[in-house]
């Protein structure tokens, strides 16, 4: 994952700029390893971002995280779900129509967004290192819808 994909608040890009399905898969793995609590993670996305969401979900599950496929939803729904259910975090995948890029936002167990200074830089480093050791047991997948 190149530095150009990381903004101060999120990960954004196109497949041509490096935000490939493999990159999304590795983002899921890195987030799973980075989060400090071992609870479930919800992934919400715009329907047109389903492939990217499935790649993130698979990365999370390979690292042993149980994932809730939240389907269509935004950051407010994800943050609400984190606090009401007591999750370890969330991933929200959307699309910026102005810049024509996929946008991935990551959230912690306290519903705060993971930004450059609060962990996004470390997650990027984990993706670049690529030293992921899969969990002994793959995480389960459940669906909200």
Looking at residue 115, its pLDDT comes to: 95
CA distances from 27 to 33, 50, 66, 130 (A): 10, 15, 16, 10
Residue 109 sits at φ, ψ, to 5 deg, of -60, -20
- Position 3 scores a pLDDT of 62
- CA dist 107 and 58 (Å) reads 18
Return the pLDDT at 47.
83
The gap between the terminal CA atoms of the chain, to the nearest Å, is: 31
Question: What average pLDDT does this structure show over 67-91?
Answer: 94
Tokens of 108: 């912690």
Tally of CB atoms within 10 A around 83: 11
Query: What pairing do the DSSP bridges indicate for beta strands 101-108 and 141-143?
Result: unpaired
Q: How much is the average pLDDT of 99-124?
A: 95
In the predicted model, what is the mean pLDDT of residues 104-131?
Answer: 95
Give the pLDDT confidence score for residue 145 in this predicted structure. 64
- Across 56-73, average pLDDT: 96
Query: What is the DSSP pairing of strand 89-96 with strand 41-45?
Result: parallel
Domains in the chain with CATH codes: 3-129+136-143 (3.40.120.10)
| Euclidean distance between CA atoms 12 and 24, whole angstroms | 11
Distinct helix (H) and strand (E) counts, the chain: 4, 6
Q: What is the mean pLDDT of residues 86-106?
A: 95
């Amino acid at each position: 994952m190149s530095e150009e994909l990381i903004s101060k608040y999120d990960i954004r890009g196109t497949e041509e700029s490096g935000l490939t399905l493999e990159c999304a898969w590795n983002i899921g793995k890195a987030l799973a390893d980075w989060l400090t609590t071992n609870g479930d993670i919800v992934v919400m996305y715009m329907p047109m971002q389903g492939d990217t969401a499935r790649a993130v979900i698979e990365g999370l599950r390979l690292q042993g995280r149980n994932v809730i496929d939240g389907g269509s939803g935004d950051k407010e729904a994800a943050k609400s779900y984190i606090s009401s259910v007591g999750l370890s975090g969330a991933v929200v995948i959307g699309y910026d129509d102005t810049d024509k890029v996929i946008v991935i936002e990551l959230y912690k167990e306290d519903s705060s967004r993971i930004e450059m200074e609060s962990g996004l830089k470390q997650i990027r480093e984990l993706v670049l290192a690529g030293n992921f050791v899969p969990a002994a047991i793959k995480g389960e997948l459940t669906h909200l819808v």
